[in-house]
């Protein structure tokens, strides 16, 4: 079996399909989440509802595009050990269109409720508020639109009208009209990915940092940190690494990938995730030591409220 036949065999045997019962279960869980959100919004506290949606959106969307960054890392570093995990890492980006929708919901809801951010007081000008919220949602929408066409369901264009279908056909033909043999295409794809990957890495670092500053750090208007963006970036990569390990462990036997995702590969990805965990710990320690060494008492409430809280106090003694 040559390389091309082996690749075709692996691709055909690693397709994941969900049964109707599994789809029904996922739909029920999604409905429970939607009903729970609106219940808290209507009968309890709108502030809690919007903040819960905000943090969960940032968390899962962050893991989604951080998973895509693992593919970028594997490409930039020529990490051959990561090739067997590259498809799984790229598959995490399928959540990004959903994240785009959630960002849009947050944009509309936060502007209307004016209860999520401290600067949304009655004294704030509506034009300034809308400009700030538009800047926030632009990042989320941009992330989602960049990958949304790649994850449309089969037959999507067939029901979207003749004009849209023709546009889809022309777009598809533009990618395949100059297709050469498999080896030439693989070589061309390799060099194109090598040129594109660094730019994607820089864009990820910049946009994720700005999202952390603009969407998360501004919740506490009296506290700021120039390291907060890096902390958010590293935590996303760490979470995506842990997710990648779990997904590889689940798919390894189910898709018969024991010969590709070996124990040595698990060892490598676990070491990388552990290193990111150490980097995240270093960033948190650096934040604390700066506050202590520079004698900044106004910065301590943000940390003390979290270190002494009921939920996190047990972790820090």
Tell me the pLDDT tens digit for each residue of 24-68. Answer: 888 898 889 888 888 887 888 777 788 888 888 889 998 998 988
Asked whether the predicted pLDDT for residue 114 surpasses 70, the reply is no
- Asked whether residue 299 is assigned to any structural domain, the reply reads yes
Mean pLDDT across the stretch 63-75?
89
- Asked whether residue 61 is assigned to any structural domain, the reply reads yes
Asked whether the predicted pLDDT for residue 163 surpasses 60, the reply is no
Considering its fold, how many domains does the chain have in total? Answer: 1
How far, in Å, CA of 187 to CA of 17, rounded? 31
Question: C-alpha dihedral over 282, 283, 289, 290, to 10 degrees?
Answer: 150
How far, in Å, CA of 284 to CA of 46, rounded? 30
What is the tens place of the pLDDT at every residue in 202-245?
A: 888 888 888 888 888 877 777 778 888 888 899 999 999 999 99
- Asked whether residue 253 is assigned to any structural domain, the reply reads yes
Residue carrying structure tokens 């842990």: 242
- Asked whether residue 228 is assigned to any structural domain, the reply reads yes
Q: How far is CA 131 from CA 51, 124, 126, 137, 214, in A?
A: 20, 12, 8, 10, 12
| Structural domain of 108 | 23-152+186-307
pLDDT on residue 297 = 76
Please state the separation of Cα 102 from the chain's center in Å.
13
pLDDT-derived band at 160 (thresholds 50, 70, 90) equals very low
Residue carrying structure tokens 């390389």: 3
- Select the more confidently predicted residue: 77 or 47: 77
- Asked whether residue 312 is assigned to any structural domain, the reply reads no
How far, in Å, CA of 17 to CA of 255, rounded? 11
pLDDT on residue 28 = 92
């Amino acid at each position: 079996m040559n390389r091309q036949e082996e690749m075709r065999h692996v691709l055909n045997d690693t397709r994941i399909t969900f049964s109707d019962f599994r789809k029904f279960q996922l739909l029920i869980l999604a409905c429970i989440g939607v009903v729970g959100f609106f219940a808290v919004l209507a009968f309890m506290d709108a502030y809690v509802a919007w903040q819960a949606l905000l943090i969960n959106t940032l968390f899962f969307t962050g893991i989604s595009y951080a998973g895509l960054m693992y593919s970028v890392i594997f490409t930039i570093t020529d990490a051959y050990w990561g090739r067997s995990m590259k498809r799984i890492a790229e598959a995490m980006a399928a959540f990004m269109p959903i994240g785009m929708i959630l960002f849009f919901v947050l944009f509309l809801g936060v502007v209307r409720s004016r209860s999520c951010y401290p600067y949304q007081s009655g004294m704030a000008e509506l034009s300034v508020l809308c400009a700030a919220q538009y800047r926030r949602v632009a990042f989320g929408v941009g992330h989602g639109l960049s990958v949304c066409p790649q994850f449309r369901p089969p037959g999507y264009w067939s029901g979207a009208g003749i004009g849209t279908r023709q546009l889809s056909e022309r777009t598809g033909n533009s990618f395949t009209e100059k297709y050469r043999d498999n080896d030439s295409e693989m070589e061309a794809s390799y060099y194109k990915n090598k040129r594109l990957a660094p730019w994607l890495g820089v864009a990820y670092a910049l946009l994720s940092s700005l999202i952390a500053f603009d969407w998360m750090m501004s919740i506490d208007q009296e506290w700021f940190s120039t390291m907060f963006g890096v902390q958010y970036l590293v935590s996303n990569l760490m979470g995506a690494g842990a997710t990648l390990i779990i997904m590889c462990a689940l798919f390894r036997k189910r898709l018969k990938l024991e010969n590709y995702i070996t124990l040595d590969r698990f060892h490598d990805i676990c070491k990388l995730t552990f290193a990111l965990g150490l980097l995240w710990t270093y960033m948190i320690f650096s934040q604390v030591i700066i506050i202590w060494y520079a004698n900044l008492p106004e910065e301590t409430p943000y940390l003390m409220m979290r270190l002494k809280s009921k939920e996190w106090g047990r972790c820090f003694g």
